Structure 1
Amino acid sequence: MKQIEALINRRGPKVAREILDVLANAERGPLTATQIKAVELLMTDPEYANLITPDDLTNAIVDLLFTAEDEAKIFAASHKLTFWRALAITWFRKCRKRKHPIAKAA
């Protein structure tokens, strides 16, 4: 609950809802701070956010439902990353990438 409150304080209610909707649509429950931070990174960091859509991310999370966390643990250890960042990268690698940046509505 505190992670959701912190997310709202950081990103505002609209963006926080979009982030949480990705996880809810992927039927990832109960939500963890790691999952929330990973989706937040992918949806807000320009390096990732302009190349994927929320639907792409939801599909990637569903596709990797049982393997993502194990893959992320290995990736985190081998690249000396935090687990949540490794999870984000694992999901991003599975996402359908857009050749041209996606125009976001203001």
Structure 2
Amino acid sequence: MTAFCTPTLVVNDAPIPAGAVTEQFEPLVHAFPDWRWEVRSLVPERDLISLHFTVTGTHLRTFQGIEATGRRIAVQEFTLYRVEDGKFAQVWDLLDVDAVLKQIGAP
């Protein structure tokens, strides 16, 4: 993943080292081992790429304090990437985490 990012990537206006990108996904992939992104639409324009995903997965391990339920989730995610010299320099991401929690039975 780091090969596709500038040395200091800015995610939702916060700079992070490129090596930390993969770490962001670890809690999700751990709790939902079959986590998948299905691209619904992709719109490139100049140095920007807009993506709309449907995210799916099965809750098989603890996530944010909620024990595994075996429930399948399907939520929407929207991401805007800014590309610089062929690499991701900035990312703005909106994943409906409340929908994830609701679908796995959070109060």
Q: Same fold (TM over 0.5)?
A: no
Higher strand residue share: 2
TM-score w.r.t. structure 2 length? 0.32
Which is helix-richer, 1 or 2?
1
